[in-house]
Chain A
Amino acid sequence: MIAALRKELLLQWRTRAQAIAVFVFGATSLLLFSFAIGPNASALRQHAAGFLWLALLLSSTLTLAESFHAEMEHRALEGLLLLPTSPRAIYYGKAIANWLQLALLGIALVPITVVLYDAATPRLGSLILIILLGTAGISAPGTLYSAMTSQTTRGKQMLLPLLLFPLIVPVLLAAARATSLLILGDPMEQTASWLRLLAAFDAIYWSLCGLLFDRVVEE
């Protein structure tokens, strides 16, 4: 698994132009959302957390859709599966790599959100924790579905969001609420319960998807 993770991270480092492109995509969508709301400073601040997570979610489909790209060329996936490791190790390696990439993307989008929406928060540590938990929730099922959709011959671009978006409604909801509470203040101390919800989602899907992955890639 460590080897699989190293391979993924190396691959992502070598194709960092792609990560930068995804970041620019996320930043552009943040800019577009603000145009949709209009230049009302308080409304922008109100919706900043939701927009940050929407931008992250939209960008994540790009990252995830690309994540099995290398394996599809020259049938490299079959070669990987022939190695004396379980497919589970491949899955976790890839999912962790996707998670790190998405978490970095999320952290990189925070300053853009702060500048565009005037949405600063003093509790940076909590914000990073929310981003880590939220992106973990996106990447676990996202990696599994990406393995499926990149093996289909038709409808690749359509299927991934179609399958993924309904599934991660709780992640989007909990992460956006928790972030919003950080930005707008949390008089009722609710952030912790949203974080627990995110952690529960992550625990369920990181184990469930790991269990099911070998059924997805087996011939």
Chain B
Amino acid sequence: MTPNHRFPRAPYALLALGVILLLLGSYLGLFVAPPEHFMGDVQRIMYVHVPTAWNALLAMTFALVCAIAFLFRGDFRWDARMEAAIEVGVLLAFLLCCQGAIWAKPTWGVWWDWDPRLTTTAVLLFAFIGILALRRFVDDPVRRATWSAVATIIAYADVPIVYYSVTWWNSLHQLQSSPATVSKSFHLPLRMNAFAILFLMTGFIMLRARLASLRLEHELAPPPHELDAVGELA
């Protein structure tokens, strides 16, 4: 593997694009779009909440893809991408829980509710934090990569089971919001923010993966004195 040592232009461009889109979309969502009939202004958090949810799931799914790719290919670039995707996914899932709590207090009257999606997000968040912890405690890069790939697959397989179990257990959440269930005037800011967060997420994952592969390159490089020995033999 040969990580690029040039200045990474693409991720920074994506980040800038994401920030601009997020500002525009949030402006539209906060000031231009009409208030929702039943919930009023509280509903406007949807413009960040729903895009965050989509992208958190996307980041975690990408982590699963990276885990499977690493186990089959053994290429450490996938390990670096997986580390990046898990970290960004954890961040987004955490933000998702916070936004959900902020929305739930005025709407449902409680910060937290044992609703399937909320609970599944929380379980997923803790499961992936566990994997990040595992990565910290394993020093050998090969083991770290393999084990965290295995743990990622196992944790991801849990998502539908947690979802169904909590659905049977208790339910209160709104039906999923998608452009199809939302009135036309809400579309534009929702879509804009979805792409904004998608760009931000991709930018962060690219930068973080680059950092991870630079670290890996450093770890996998033979120690200096062995290099000397090889030089003498040659």
A and B are interacting partners: yes
Whether A165 pairs with B138 at a CB distance below 8 angstroms is: no
Closest to A154 in B: B137
Interface size on A, residues (CB 8 A): 34
Report A-chain residues with C-beta under 8 Å of the C-beta of B146: 215-216, 218
Tell me, rounded to whole Å, the shortest Cβ–Cβ distance linking B157 to chain A. 6
Whether B158 pairs with A167 at a CB distance below 8 angstroms is: yes
Report A-chain residues with C-beta under 8 Å of the C-beta of B119: 169
Whether B164 pairs with A166 at a CB distance below 8 angstroms is: no
Tell me, rounded to whole Å, the shortest Cβ–Cβ distance linking A206 to chain B. 12
Query: Which A residues from 161 to 210 make CB contacts under 8 A with B?
Result: 162-163, 165-167, 169-170, 173-174, 177, 193-194, 197, 200-201, 204-205, 208-209
Closest to B150 in A: A212
Whether A170 pairs with B150 at a CB distance below 8 angstroms is: no
Closest to B119 in A: A169
The reply to whether the CB of A158 lies closer than 8 angstroms to some CB of chain B is yes
Whether B71 pairs with A163 at a CB distance below 8 angstroms is: no
Report B-chain residues with C-beta under 8 Å of the C-beta of A197: 161, 164-165, 168
Report the Cα distance A152→B161, complex, angstroms.
Answer: 29
Report the Cα distance A40→B139, complex, angstroms.
Answer: 50
Report A-chain residues with C-beta under 8 Å of the C-beta of B129: 162
The reply to whether the CB of A39 lies closer than 8 angstroms to some CB of chain B is no
Of A163, A205, A208, A218, most buried by chain B (CB within 10 Å of CB) is A163
The reply to whether the CB of A38 lies closer than 8 angstroms to some CB of chain B is no
The reply to whether the CB of A151 lies closer than 8 angstroms to some CB of chain B is yes
Asked whether A174 and B147 contact (CB < 8 A) given A152-B137, A158-B133, A166-B126, the answer is: no
Whether A166 pairs with B165 at a CB distance below 8 angstroms is: no
Closest to A212 in B: B150
Asked whether A159 and B137 contact (CB < 8 A) given A167-B158, A208-B154, A215-B146, the answer is: yes
Report B-chain residues with C-beta under 8 Å of the C-beta of A141: 154
The reply to whether the CB of B188 lies closer than 8 angstroms to some CB of chain A is no
Of A152, A193, A204, most buried by chain B (CB within 10 Å of CB) is A152
The reply to whether the CB of A15 lies closer than 8 angstroms to some CB of chain B is no
Query: Which B residues from 112 to 160 make CB contacts under 8 A with A?
Result: 119, 123-124, 126-127, 129-131, 133-134, 136-139, 143, 146-147, 149-151, 153-155, 157-158
Asked whether A148 and B133 contact (CB < 8 A) given A193-B168, A197-B168, the answer is: no
The reply to whether the CB of A144 lies closer than 8 angstroms to some CB of chain B is yes
Whether A167 pairs with B127 at a CB distance below 8 angstroms is: yes
Closest to B114 in A: A173
The reply to whether the CB of B169 lies closer than 8 angstroms to some CB of chain A is yes
Whether A148 pairs with B169 at a CB distance below 8 angstroms is: no
Whether A173 pairs with B153 at a CB distance below 8 angstroms is: no
Whether A173 pairs with B138 at a CB distance below 8 angstroms is: no
The reply to whether the CB of A84 lies closer than 8 angstroms to some CB of chain B is no
Whether A204 pairs with B161 at a CB distance below 8 angstroms is: yes
Whether A208 pairs with B164 at a CB distance below 8 angstroms is: no
Tell me, rounded to whole Å, the shortest Cβ–Cβ distance linking A202 to chain B. 11
Report the Cα distance A15→B168, complex, angstroms.
Answer: 41
Report A-chain residues with C-beta under 8 Å of the C-beta of B24: none
The reply to whether the CB of B166 lies closer than 8 angstroms to some CB of chain A is yes
Report the Cα distance A145→B131, complex, angstroms.
Answer: 11
Report the Cα distance A216→B133, complex, angstroms.
Answer: 17
Report B-chain residues with C-beta under 8 Å of the C-beta of A212: 150, 153-154
Report the Cα distance A173→B155, complex, angstroms.
Answer: 17
Report A-chain residues with C-beta under 8 Å of the C-beta of B126: 165-166
Report the Cα distance A163→B127, complex, angstroms.
Answer: 6
Contacts A169-B119, A170-B158, A215-B146 supplied; 14 other A-B pairs, CB < 8 Å: A144-B150, A153-B139, A162-B130, A162-B134, A163-B133, A166-B130, A167-B155, A169-B162, A173-B166, A197-B164, A200-B161, A201-B161, A208-B153, A208-B154
29 contacting pairs across A/B (C-beta < 8 A): A148-B134, A152-B138, A153-B139, A155-B137, A158-B133, A162-B129, A162-B133, A162-B134, A163-B134, A166-B127, A166-B130, A167-B127, A167-B154, A167-B158, A169-B158, A170-B161, A170-B162, A170-B165, A177-B169, A197-B165, A200-B161, A204-B161, A205-B154, A208-B157, A209-B154, A215-B71, A215-B146, A215-B150, A218-B146
